[in-house]
Amino acid sequence: MAAAEAANRLYEESIVIDGLNVSNWQSSAVYRSLHAGRVTAINATIAVWEDYRQTMDNVAAWLRRFQERQDTLMPVAAVQDIRRAKQDQKVGVILGWQNATPIENNLDRLAVFHALGVRVVQLTYNERNLLGNGCYERIDDGLSHFGRDAVREMNRLGILIDLSHVGDRTTLDAIERSEQPVAITHANARAFFDHVRNKTDEALQLLAERGGVIGANAFPHFLRRGFESTLADYGDAIEDLVERVGIDHVGIGTDYTQDQPKAFFDWLIAQQGTKFHVRPVAFPDPVIHPQGMETPDALSNVTAELLRRGYRPEDVAKIMGGNWLRLFQTVWAS
């Protein structure tokens, strides 16, 4: 009982930040779960394959959502907004992309979206785009000239660069060329579980050397026991990352997909086209996250699991959100 009380107290006191949430934003249950879970802030995916116009529509939908749900939600454009969300017991929403396709071939659009609140941009999603290569591409020759310019512009604006779905060479290229630390918002170590979406030790070490943060991914497909995974399996992934890069460079990146229908996953794996499913993946319907942390209202269990493993409370607080907060402060304030 004392251990449970200590875990709950620490969770209540901590700023809790989820590095990636791609749930069904049309579902009221998602917002109830986030609020019940006392999540301080999330990086909410608002674009994956969308183009400029479609992403503008998604931003407009979020601006309306902030008005309709202002009792429990608030937009995040700066670190002080996250602190305010904690104080006011609201869920802060960071608008983020899992692909840079919304800018199409116009770098000036980064400034437009930054003005509208976008603060996290992943360079590529699995495949090649104008910036570089995704992790599933046959050949990865790094950032394009356009990609290098995009990295420079994101640095100038204060947009956090995300490399989770990015190819190995493009990942290293982006870390090396960025003047600011970058993020891998939702991935694990490839040496922990051999999957192309997980990251090499070379990338992880360089990320940490440059001050970046990786969010341990709870999506079962990237854990050792797949869809049989439990909270303990997620704890193993976190612990592995801490051993590789250090306590100051690991956060939470659940990749929650709460209430997403099968059609959503079909859309994701269809990639840029709708004719060819080049990498069919068998997902259960519905997709369930590890037992013990199935939805955000159970996220406090991660705190309890880390304490059970012997982590100091101050280090647990770093993993649960403190490291993300430090990275946001560094990049967004630039």
**pLDDT tens across 112-165, in order?**
999 999 999 999 999 999 999 999 999 999 999 999 999 999 999 999 999 999
Cα–Cα distance, 274 to 190 (Å, whole number)? 29
Superfamily of domain 2-332: Metal-dependent hydrolases (3.20.20.140)
Q: Quick one: three-class SS letters along the chain?
A: CHHHHHHHHHHHHCCCEEEEECCCCCCHHHHHHHHHCCCCEEEEEEECCCCHHHHHHHHHHHHHHHHHCCCCEEECCCHHHHHHHHHHCCEEEEEEECCCHHHCCCCHHHHHHHHCCEEEEECCCCCCCCCCCECCCCCCCCCCHHHHHHHHHHHHHCCEEECCCECHHHHHHHHHHCCCCCEEEEECECCCCCCCCCECHHHHHHHHHCCCEEEEECCHHHCCCHHHCEHHHHHHHHHHHHHHHCHHHEEEECCECCCCCHHHHHHHHHCCCCCCCCCCCCCCCCCCCCECCCCHHHCHHHHHHHHHCCCCHHHHHHHHHHHHHHHHHHHHCC
Distance spanning both ends of the chain, measured CA to CA:
44
pLDDT of residue 285: 83
**155 near 210, Cβ under 8 Å?**
no
Handedness of CA 289, 292, 294, 298 (dihedral sign): negative
The answer on pLDDT for 255 being more than 80 is: yes
Residue 15: alpha-carbon gap to chain centroid: 16
The one-letter code for the residue type at 296 is: P
Q: Is the peptide bond before 296 cis (omega within 30 degrees of 0)?
A: no
Estimate to the nearest angstrom the gap between the alpha carbon of 228 and the chain centroid: 22
Other CB atoms within 10 Å distance of the CB of residue 53: 10
- What's the pLDDT score for residue 267? 87
Q: How does residue 279 score in pLDDT terms, banded at 50, 70 and 90?
A: low
Q: Where are the domains of the chain?
A: 2-332
Can you tell me the distance from the alpha carbon of 77 to that of 200, in angstroms, rounded to the nearest whole number?
31
pLDDT > 70 in the chain, percent = 96
Q: How far is CA 259 from CA 63, 80, 110, in A?
A: 21, 30, 30
Q: Provide the pLDDT for residue 272.
A: 57
pLDDT digits (tens, 9 = 90+) for 161-205: 999 999 999 999 999 999 999 999 999 999 999 999 999 999 999
Contact 43, 21 (CB under 8 A): yes
d(CA 154, CA 177): 12
Nearest alpha-carbon partner for 41 in 87, 92, 76, 79: 92
Residue 209, both tokens = 């050397």
Task: Label residue 269 by pLDDT band (50, 70, 90).
Answer: confident
Residue 1 has what pLDDT? Answer: 67
CA distances (Å), origin 113, targets 62, 107, 229, 297: 13, 11, 37, 30
For residue 279, which amino acid is it? R
Confidence at 291, pLDDT banded by 50, 70, 90 = very high
Rounded to 10 deg, the angle between the 168-177 and 145-157 helix axes is: 50
Largest Cα–Cα separation, the chain: 57
Nearest-angstrom CA–CA distance, 38 and 30 = 13
